[in-house]
Amino acid sequence: MHTVLVTGANRGLGLEFCRQYAEAGWRVLAACRDPDNSKALHGLAKRHGGLEIHALDVADHAAIDRLAEELRGRAVDVLLNNAGVYGDNDQNDFGSMDYGLWEQVLRINTLGPVKMAEAFLPHVLRGERKLVVAVTSLMGSMADNSSGHSLMYRSSKAALNAAVRSLALDLRPRGVGFLLVHPGWVQTDMGGANAPLQAEESVRGMRQQVEHFDLRHSGEFVNYLGKPLAW
Protein backbone atom coordinates (compact mmCIF):
# COMPACT_ATOMS: atom_id res chain seq x y z
CA MET A 1 0.00 0.00 0.00
CA HIS A 2 1.35 3.44 -0.94
CA THR A 3 1.38 6.35 1.49
CA VAL A 4 0.76 10.04 0.83
CA LEU A 5 1.30 12.84 3.35
CA VAL A 6 -0.91 15.86 2.62
CA THR A 7 -0.53 19.28 4.28
CA GLY A 8 -3.51 21.63 4.61
CA ALA A 9 -5.69 18.52 4.53
CA ASN A 10 -8.82 19.88 6.21
CA ARG A 11 -10.45 21.80 3.35
CA GLY A 12 -10.19 22.78 -0.30
CA LEU A 13 -7.76 20.88 -2.52
CA GLY A 14 -6.05 19.21 0.44
CA LEU A 15 -9.27 17.58 1.62
CA GLU A 16 -10.06 16.45 -1.92
CA PHE A 17 -6.57 14.93 -2.27
CA CYS A 18 -7.22 12.99 0.96
CA ARG A 19 -10.63 11.81 -0.25
CA GLN A 20 -9.39 10.62 -3.64
CA TYR A 21 -6.23 8.93 -2.33
CA ALA A 22 -8.18 7.22 0.46
CA GLU A 23 -10.74 5.98 -2.07
CA ALA A 24 -7.92 4.71 -4.28
CA GLY A 25 -6.74 2.59 -1.36
CA TRP A 26 -3.70 4.63 -0.32
CA ARG A 27 -2.66 5.19 3.26
CA VAL A 28 -3.24 8.90 3.89
CA LEU A 29 -1.39 10.94 6.50
CA ALA A 30 -3.64 14.00 6.64
CA ALA A 31 -1.92 16.95 8.31
CA CYS A 32 -3.83 20.07 9.30
CA ARG A 33 -3.53 22.94 11.75
CA ASP A 34 -6.58 22.19 13.84
CA PRO A 35 -7.69 18.55 13.77
CA ASP A 36 -10.33 19.15 16.48
CA ASN A 37 -12.21 21.44 14.12
CA SER A 38 -11.85 19.34 10.98
CA LYS A 39 -15.23 17.65 10.76
CA ALA A 40 -14.92 16.68 7.11
CA LEU A 41 -11.56 15.01 7.71
CA HIS A 42 -12.92 13.03 10.67
CA GLY A 43 -15.82 11.94 8.48
CA LEU A 44 -13.31 10.65 5.91
CA ALA A 45 -11.28 8.88 8.60
CA LYS A 46 -14.43 7.07 9.74
CA ARG A 47 -15.04 5.75 6.24
CA HIS A 48 -11.40 4.91 5.48
CA GLY A 49 -9.33 3.01 8.03
CA GLY A 50 -6.11 3.97 6.22
CA LEU A 51 -6.50 7.69 6.92
CA GLU A 52 -4.70 9.18 9.93
CA ILE A 53 -5.06 12.77 11.06
CA HIS A 54 -2.04 14.67 12.40
CA ALA A 55 -1.80 18.22 13.74
CA LEU A 56 0.62 20.38 11.76
CA ASP A 57 1.14 24.09 11.18
CA VAL A 58 3.67 24.27 8.34
CA ALA A 59 4.87 27.67 9.58
CA ASP A 60 6.14 25.95 12.74
CA HIS A 61 9.45 24.28 11.93
CA ALA A 62 9.75 22.64 15.35
CA ALA A 63 6.31 21.10 14.82
CA ILE A 64 7.43 19.77 11.42
CA ASP A 65 10.47 18.16 13.08
CA ARG A 66 8.25 16.67 15.81
CA LEU A 67 5.89 15.10 13.29
CA ALA A 68 8.82 13.73 11.27
CA GLU A 69 10.14 12.17 14.49
CA GLU A 70 6.70 10.78 15.40
CA LEU A 71 6.54 9.13 11.97
CA ARG A 72 10.18 8.01 12.01
CA GLY A 73 10.76 4.70 10.24
CA ARG A 74 7.64 5.01 8.09
CA ALA A 75 7.68 5.38 4.34
CA VAL A 76 6.08 8.32 2.57
CA ASP A 77 5.76 7.60 -1.15
CA VAL A 78 4.41 11.03 -2.02
CA LEU A 79 4.92 14.13 0.11
CA LEU A 80 2.21 16.51 -1.01
CA ASN A 81 2.85 20.11 -0.01
CA ASN A 82 -0.57 21.63 -0.50
CA ALA A 83 -1.06 24.08 2.39
CA GLY A 84 -0.98 27.68 1.26
CA VAL A 85 -2.27 31.18 1.92
CA TYR A 86 -2.98 34.13 -0.35
CA GLY A 87 -2.09 36.92 2.04
CA ASP A 88 -2.55 40.03 -0.09
CA ASN A 89 -5.34 42.45 0.32
CA ASP A 90 -5.36 43.83 -3.21
CA GLN A 91 -7.47 46.84 -2.27
CA ASN A 92 -4.56 48.40 -0.44
CA ASP A 93 -1.37 46.54 -1.20
CA PHE A 94 1.34 48.87 -2.55
CA GLY A 95 1.40 52.04 -0.48
CA SER A 96 0.39 50.29 2.70
CA MET A 97 2.14 46.96 2.56
CA ASP A 98 1.79 44.71 5.56
CA TYR A 99 5.35 43.38 5.69
CA GLY A 100 4.66 41.15 8.67
CA LEU A 101 1.92 39.43 6.69
CA TRP A 102 4.25 39.11 3.67
CA GLU A 103 6.84 37.34 5.86
CA GLN A 104 4.12 35.00 7.09
CA VAL A 105 3.03 34.21 3.52
CA LEU A 106 6.62 33.43 2.56
CA ARG A 107 7.02 31.28 5.66
CA ILE A 108 3.95 29.19 4.80
CA ASN A 109 4.13 29.05 0.98
CA THR A 110 7.90 28.97 0.40
CA LEU A 111 9.78 27.91 3.51
CA GLY A 112 7.08 25.41 4.53
CA PRO A 113 7.43 23.01 1.57
CA VAL A 114 11.25 23.18 1.71
CA LYS A 115 11.30 22.49 5.45
CA MET A 116 8.83 19.62 4.92
CA ALA A 117 11.09 18.11 2.23
CA GLU A 118 14.10 18.44 4.53
CA ALA A 119 12.42 16.91 7.57
CA PHE A 120 10.69 14.11 5.66
CA LEU A 121 13.55 13.18 3.32
CA PRO A 122 14.25 9.93 5.25
CA HIS A 123 10.57 8.95 4.95
CA VAL A 124 10.51 9.79 1.23
CA LEU A 125 13.70 7.79 0.65
CA ARG A 126 11.98 4.79 2.26
CA GLY A 127 9.03 5.07 -0.13
CA GLU A 128 8.79 3.43 -3.54
CA ARG A 129 7.71 6.57 -5.38
CA LYS A 130 10.21 9.02 -3.80
CA LEU A 131 8.24 12.04 -4.95
CA VAL A 132 7.78 15.48 -3.40
CA VAL A 133 4.94 17.56 -4.85
CA ALA A 134 4.60 21.30 -4.37
CA VAL A 135 1.20 22.72 -5.21
CA THR A 136 2.30 26.02 -6.68
CA SER A 137 0.50 28.60 -8.82
CA LEU A 138 0.61 30.11 -12.28
CA MET A 139 0.60 33.39 -10.32
CA GLY A 140 4.23 32.60 -9.51
CA SER A 141 5.09 32.82 -13.21
CA MET A 142 6.84 36.01 -14.39
CA ALA A 143 5.92 35.27 -18.00
CA ASP A 144 2.24 35.03 -17.12
CA ASN A 145 2.06 38.18 -15.04
CA SER A 146 0.27 40.77 -17.13
CA SER A 147 -2.11 42.07 -14.48
CA GLY A 148 0.13 43.03 -11.53
CA HIS A 149 -0.97 43.04 -7.87
CA SER A 150 -0.75 40.10 -5.45
CA LEU A 151 2.86 40.84 -4.51
CA MET A 152 2.88 38.52 -1.51
CA TYR A 153 1.31 35.54 -3.20
CA ARG A 154 3.16 35.91 -6.51
CA SER A 155 6.55 36.31 -4.86
CA SER A 156 5.97 33.38 -2.49
CA LYS A 157 5.08 31.01 -5.32
CA ALA A 158 7.88 32.30 -7.61
CA ALA A 159 10.35 31.68 -4.78
CA LEU A 160 8.83 28.25 -4.17
CA ASN A 161 9.34 27.42 -7.85
CA ALA A 162 12.97 28.58 -7.75
CA ALA A 163 13.74 26.64 -4.56
CA VAL A 164 12.05 23.43 -5.69
CA ARG A 165 13.75 23.60 -9.10
CA SER A 166 17.11 23.56 -7.27
CA LEU A 167 16.05 20.77 -4.92
CA ALA A 168 15.03 18.70 -7.95
CA LEU A 169 18.54 19.01 -9.40
CA ASP A 170 20.26 18.50 -6.05
CA LEU A 171 18.31 15.37 -5.07
CA ARG A 172 18.03 13.68 -8.44
CA PRO A 173 21.18 11.61 -7.79
CA ARG A 174 19.40 10.16 -4.71
CA GLY A 175 16.38 9.21 -6.80
CA VAL A 176 14.05 11.81 -5.27
CA GLY A 177 11.75 13.63 -7.69
CA PHE A 178 10.00 16.99 -7.40
CA LEU A 179 6.84 18.12 -9.16
CA LEU A 180 5.69 21.75 -9.29
CA VAL A 181 2.01 21.63 -10.16
CA HIS A 182 -0.52 24.42 -10.72
CA PRO A 183 -4.03 23.16 -9.91
CA GLY A 184 -5.85 25.47 -12.31
CA TRP A 185 -8.28 28.09 -11.01
CA VAL A 186 -10.40 26.06 -8.64
CA GLN A 187 -13.53 26.70 -6.57
CA THR A 188 -12.22 26.65 -3.00
CA ASP A 189 -12.11 29.28 -0.27
CA MET A 190 -8.97 30.64 -1.96
CA GLY A 191 -10.13 30.29 -5.56
CA GLY A 192 -13.59 31.75 -4.90
CA ALA A 193 -17.00 30.97 -6.36
CA ASN A 194 -16.23 32.23 -9.90
CA ALA A 195 -13.50 29.71 -10.55
CA PRO A 196 -14.26 27.46 -13.53
CA LEU A 197 -12.88 24.22 -12.05
CA GLN A 198 -14.16 21.98 -9.28
CA ALA A 199 -11.69 20.53 -6.78
CA GLU A 200 -12.65 17.01 -7.87
CA GLU A 201 -11.44 17.54 -11.45
CA SER A 202 -8.32 19.50 -10.52
CA VAL A 203 -7.18 16.87 -8.01
CA ARG A 204 -7.95 14.03 -10.42
CA GLY A 205 -5.66 15.77 -12.94
CA MET A 206 -2.90 16.41 -10.40
CA ARG A 207 -3.06 12.76 -9.28
CA GLN A 208 -2.51 11.76 -12.90
CA GLN A 209 0.65 13.87 -12.96
CA VAL A 210 1.82 12.09 -9.80
CA GLU A 211 0.97 8.72 -11.36
CA HIS A 212 2.91 9.41 -14.55
CA PHE A 213 5.81 11.21 -12.91
CA ASP A 214 9.20 10.47 -14.42
CA LEU A 215 12.44 11.43 -12.65
CA ARG A 216 13.83 12.74 -15.95
CA HIS A 217 11.22 15.53 -15.72
CA SER A 218 11.89 16.35 -12.09
CA GLY A 219 11.64 20.05 -11.29
CA GLU A 220 9.34 20.91 -14.17
CA PHE A 221 6.45 23.37 -13.73
CA VAL A 222 3.19 22.02 -15.14
CA ASN A 223 -0.53 22.48 -14.70
CA TYR A 224 -3.02 19.87 -13.49
CA LEU A 225 -3.26 18.46 -17.02
CA GLY A 226 0.51 18.11 -17.36
CA LYS A 227 0.91 21.11 -19.67
CA PRO A 228 4.35 22.75 -19.19
CA LEU A 229 4.12 26.32 -17.89
CA ALA A 230 6.53 29.20 -18.50
CA TRP A 231 8.56 30.42 -15.50
Q: Which is nearer to ligand NDP, 34 or 69 (CB)?
A: 34
| Residue 14 touches ligand NDP, criterion: CB under 6 A | yes
Strand-pair category, 27-32 with 51-55: parallel
3-class secondary structure for 75-112? CCCEEEECCCCCCCCHHHCCCCCCHHHHHHHHHHHHHH
Q: Which position among 53, 58, 67, 121 is part of the footprint of ligand NDP (CB under 6 A)? A: 58
Count of other CB atoms within 10 angstroms of residue 66:
15
Number of chain residues interacting with ligand NDP (CB under 6 A): 29
Which residues within the stretch 184-203 sit at the binding site for ligand NDP (CB under 6 A)?
185-186, 188-191, 195
Is the separation of the CB atoms in 18 and 28 below 8 Å? Answer: yes
Closest to ligand NDP by CB, 86 or 172: 86
Identify which of residues 39 and 216 has a Cβ nearer to ligand NDP in the complex: 39
CA-CA distance, 36 to 45, in Å (whole number)? 13
x/- string (CB under 6 A) for ligand NDP, residues 77-96? -----xxxx-----------
Closest to ligand NDP by CB, 10 vs 20, is 10
Q: Among the candidate windows 30-38, 119-127, 141-149, 205-213, which touches ligand NDP by CB under 6 A? A: 30-38
**Polymer length in residues for the chain:** 231
Q: What is the DSSP string of 129-171?
A: S-EEEEE--GGG-STT--S---HHHHHHHHHHHHHHHHHHHHH
Per-residue binding letters, 112-151, with ligand NDP (x by CB under 6 A): -----------------------x-x--------------
8 scored as a contact of ligand NDP (CB under 6 A): yes
In the list 87, 127, 177, 183, the residue contacting ligand NDP (rule: CB under 6 A) is 183
Strand order in the sheet with 78-81: 51-55, 27-32, 3-7, 78-81, 131-135, 177-182, 221-223
Nearer to ligand NDP, 11 or 172 (CB): 11
Cα angle 119, 125, 131; round to 5: 85
Closest to ligand NDP by CB, 168 vs 199, is 199
Q: What is the nearest approach in angstroms of ligand NDP to the Cβ of residue 77? A: 20
Q: Which of 11, 149, 165, 172 binds ligand NDP (CB under 6 A)?
A: 11
34-to-30, 99, 150, 151 alpha-carbon distances in Å: 11, 26, 27, 28
> Within 13 A of 97's CA, how many CA atoms are on the CB side?
12
**Which residues lie near ligand NDP (CB under 6 A)?**
7-8, 10-14, 32-34, 57-59, 82-85, 108, 135, 137, 182-183, 185-186, 188-191, 195
